[in-house]
Amino acid sequence: MPELPDVEVFKEYFDSNGLDKPIKEVEMREEAVLGDLQPRVLRNILKGERFLSSLRHGKYLFIKVGDATWLSVHFGMTGYFDYYQTELEPDGHPRVIFHFKDGSQMVYDCQRKLGELDLLSEPAELIEEKNLGPDALKDVGQDEFKDIFTSSRAMAKSTLMNQETIAGIGNIYSDEILFQTGIHPRIKASRLTSEKITRLYGKMNQVLNRAIEREVDPEKLPEDYLLSHRTPGTPCPKCGSKIERVKVSGRSAYFCPECQKVSA
């Protein structure tokens, strides 16, 4: 799940359920998601504190704990938050559990353990370390977007997915944005016309915003979205042609050969 829209929805979920509650205990179920961070350090720093606010950049969520203390959360491919009002044993694959003094708990679930938590003094620390580009939704203007595409030597899909270029777009949403714009995933970014890049920019914003509005629920997304038709051979929701799959930068790209022609 976790691309920009998913993380934005997690942020809203966390903000409404996890902020301003004194933390009673931090329970580690799986230390692999802490990376180099020592479980004892995380517990000692969070215990007795409360989460104050949160901030999203690309696929990362930063949660403020104190003046110069932030918890960074990455969700890998399978991570999400799950809030329980009581001390019930959580379902799924709980990896880290934040127990609040009021008896409720915020669970960080990450089945495949590809996500990671860390402690930072400020979000910029991680953004610089990972060399993340501007957030796709908040920080990329149309002119900057145009520059990125005209100067990129990679394929359009790779350019959209490169976190150092634009932060937040992954495999699913890069396919969706290209599909909605009618651009073939393997076309070179720099070969797109200025008009196409402008349309792509508009669709990027529209697709990401719409996904957030509909709470990334596939059932609530428009009928003509590719998102729930990611199987080779199924009919394109726009024209009925058969959806195809190709590899782009090691990932499966789904597209409609009729709606997304190879020519610019």
Partner DNA sequence: GGTCATGTTGACTA
Partner DNA sequence: TTAGTCAACATGAC
| Residues at the interface with DNA (CB under 7 A) | 1-3, 6, 32, 58-59, 74, 76-77, 93, 111-114, 130, 152-155, 158, 163, 170-172, 230, 245, 247-252
**Minimum distance of DNA from residue 98's CB (angstroms):** 21
**Minimum distance of DNA from residue 127's CB (angstroms):** 11
**Where are the extended beta strands (E) located within 85-133?**
94-100, 105-110, 116-120
**Minimum distance of DNA from residue 116's CB (angstroms):** 8
C-alpha 92/C-alpha 83 separation (Å) is 12
**Paired tokens of 241:** 């042609």
256: Cα within 13 Å, side-chain hemisphere: 24
C-alpha 60/C-alpha 104 separation (Å) is 24
Q: Quick one: which of 112, 103, 107, 79 has its CA closest to 91?
A: 107
Q: Return the SS3 of 28.
A: strand
Closer of 43 and 245 to DNA (Cβ): 245
Closer of 19 and 114 to DNA (Cβ): 114
**Minimum distance of DNA from residue 257's CB (angstroms):** 17
Closer of 60 and 100 to DNA (Cβ): 60
Q: Which residue has the tokens 């799924």?
A: 92
Q: What is the layout of strands, in order, in the sheet containing 116-120?
A: 53-57, 60-66, 69-74, 116-120
**Minimum distance of DNA from residue 165's CB (angstroms):** 8
C-alpha 119/C-alpha 248 separation (Å) is 34
Closer of 158 and 181 to DNA (Cβ): 158
Element (H, E) at 181: helix 171-181
Closer of 55 and 114 to DNA (Cβ): 114
Q: Quick one: which of 199, 196, 187, 200 has its CA closest to 152?
A: 187
**Minimum distance of DNA from residue 104's CB (angstroms):** 25
Closer of 214 and 245 to DNA (Cβ): 245
